[in-house]
Structure 1
């Protein structure tokens, strides 16, 4: 008798997609299939799968961004989620605010790296389903090839007869059992699953992604705004770990049906998806952990990136200008608005997130997009005239250096803080802190308030009972009491150190120690 993993299925289970969708979504997706069915049908996917190498693998060659020095195997073995599988059982999900997720991974030629990624993310209880799509028709892979760390995870694999590249990421997500997908390529490992998921929980409608700092800087140049056309969008790489809504993916498939792309562009759908949501993605800036980086495209990566970003933006602009296409593209900017986003980077230990209201980069609306450029570099040149950190500065003083457990590296705010500006932490697991030590590279006075919040909306001021920096001028320890300000002694999820006066120079924060938690 044949192993069930070896039985071929003539096509992916698209019935699973249509069974749960509204009539509007169905009609939208039919548009896609009419436009692309001939091409898709030549794939004849088998039951069990993987795809293209991730985009950022090519970028690695141009990046001088240092990585956090870790023992990868030791970190993988020792890292576990703060979230519990009981929180994602059906009865619990009816009462709590947790969101179960389907992970979508693409494979090309890096089977060992794929196995590492699949095995690792299966540790996290919010990953309830894993779908693997194999784009390599010379290699067949099966569910039995993976060792999962959670027996409750449902794993399905699909083998394709043709390399669908990026497009398979979206067709696979459209078949997901759950309403949200987690994207992961096979050449990077996201060690900050809890952190990214925690930020995603706050605003699940937005795309949430990881970006290495130098690419985060580049992405700030690839944002496009035009208030007259309701254009407010940006690009981010998805393959290094990102959460997206399945509804946005299905809408994107409808967009592909309404705006035809040549086959080569369709295979590079990642360049279009984030831009066509017409929303600024929520990006966290942190070093990435590379896996196997071999077997890249072997093409002119940057030329392809620029061409497709420009084409995607031009098509979006045109669609927004034509009312007949309005149903395919969102026009309202989703909350939280760009200026209201304060979460910046995960802590190295994945137990917290660094937050600050100080953004050293200009708001995207400062660079007006009028659909009159011939190259993305034309848009970049407008951005480059504004005041923002250089690549050298950002490589040495980016957000994550405040929470990398290394007192020799520091985040520099770039801008000079004014009264009311702040920095702080969001905790993955709520707590009731009583002491925080702020370590700077320079003399650090006590001109601050300590404010805390349970939900991130209402902030209360704690009573500072002691402030001490006599032993080390650059090390200030605040002891504080929040018992009279937090109702019913709720556990605290956010803490911020807020300036009580205007400063004369930027903050330079090297480390934070909360009680005994050193970040």
Structure 2
């Protein structure tokens, strides 16, 4: 690939930027809460950010030029799952699951056009002017599954019919499970939703007659108490890997998820002969 694109030796030092760009795919991004280590001379600190953007831009120009020449090594079709089929958002804090939702936090990339390309700083300015990112920074996906009572993921858009939140449990579950959900929703939300399970994340089976225990509680953040709803439900079926809570109608409020977690239903296990 380097020989075909005629990369110079200096560019190899920034190979990670070229590798990602040359894939010619929208990256499948998982958001997670990270703690940045203080490094005065970090590679991407200060002038390093500008330097990184320069090489990202060079990679984009090379890719664009070679696509125009129909150079064979570059992928020209979008891989499955395509960007708007993706719903995995963040790993759970205990690494036992992945948080799922069809709600996107960023605008549709198809709204933006580049003629034929622009530099990275211009791209950032265009996106920032269209869509303020502060909401995503304050209420990211990972806050739904970080195990902290005082943090939450909140969607900017209201909940619509067929919107959902869920978990990928990573492996088929061979024991009954209890799920715990804490949300900042109006009480009627739980009268218009369905609990569904799946083996593959594509084909879903509605779980009928699952009682949901609902209690009003509060969460404290920055000295302020927020009234929320704590809901618990049990799934006796086994062998499934995915679970989701699907909305059956439109609401005038968005998702506000403080916790979505699960544990083995020990009472059901002990009752088995």
Class of the TM-score when normalised by the shorter of the 2 chains:
0.7 to 0.9
- The aligned counterpart of 2:152 is 410
Corresponding residue of 2:249: 501
Distance 2:197 2:24 in 1: 33
| SS across alignment from 1:413 | strand
255-264 or 303-312: bigger deviation: 255-264
Q: Deviations over 1:399-419 (max 9, x none)?
A: 000001111100001111100
2:182 aligned with 1:439: yes
Equivalent residues of 1:314, 1:371 under 8 A apart: no
Query: What CA distance in whole angstroms lies between the structure 1 residues aligned with 2:254 and 2:228?
Result: 14
Q: Per residue, is there more helix in 1 or in 2?
A: 1
Tell me the equivalent position of 2:50.
Answer: 303
Aligned residues: 252
- 1:379–1:352: structure 2 CA closer, same or farther, 3 Å change rule? same
Structure 1 equivalent of residue 125 of structure 2: 381
Q: Once the 2 structures are TM-superposed, how far is the Cα of residue 340 of structure 1 from its aligned partner? A: 0.6
Q: Match of 2:194, SS? A: strand
Shift of residue 429, structure 1, vs aligned partner: 3.5
Q: Which residue of 2 aligns with 1:462?
A: 207
Aligned residue for 1:284, secondary structure, equals coil
Give the number of the structure whose alpha-carbon radius of gyration is greater. 1
Tell me: CA distance 1:433–1:464, structure 2 relative to 1, closer, same or farther (3 Å). Answer: farther
Q: Which runs of 4+ in 1 moved over 4 A?
A: 289-295, 480-483
RMSD of aligned C-alpha atoms?
A: 2.4
Alignment partner for residue 31 of structure 2, among 275, 281, 285?
285
Answer yes or no: is the 8 Å Cα contact 1:437–1:475 preserved in 2.
no
For normalisation by structure 1, the TM-score amounts to 0.45
TM-score scaled to structure 2, two decimals? 0.83
Check conservation: 1:449, 1:500, Cα contact below 8 A. yes
More strand by share: 2
1:464 Cα deviation after fit: 3.5
Task: Give the CA deviation at 1:334.
Answer: 0.8
Structure 1 residue 383: deviation in Å? 2.1
In structure 2, relative to structure 1, the CA distance for the partners of 1:363 and 1:482 (3 Å cut) is farther
Q: Which residue of 2 aligns with 1:115?
A: none
Distance 1:500 1:299, change over 3 A: closer
Change in Cα spacing, 1:372 to 1:395, as seen in structure 2 (3 Å) is: closer
What is the alpha-carbon distance in structure 2 between the residues aligned to residue 296 and residue 458 of structure 1?
46
Q: Distance in 1 between matches of 2:209 and 2:178?
A: 9
**What is the match of residue 474 of structure 1?**
228
- Structure 1 alignment gaps of length 5 or more: 1-254, 484-488
Counterpart check, 1:419 vs 2:161: yes
Q: C-alpha distance in 2, partners of 1:399/1:256?
A: 37
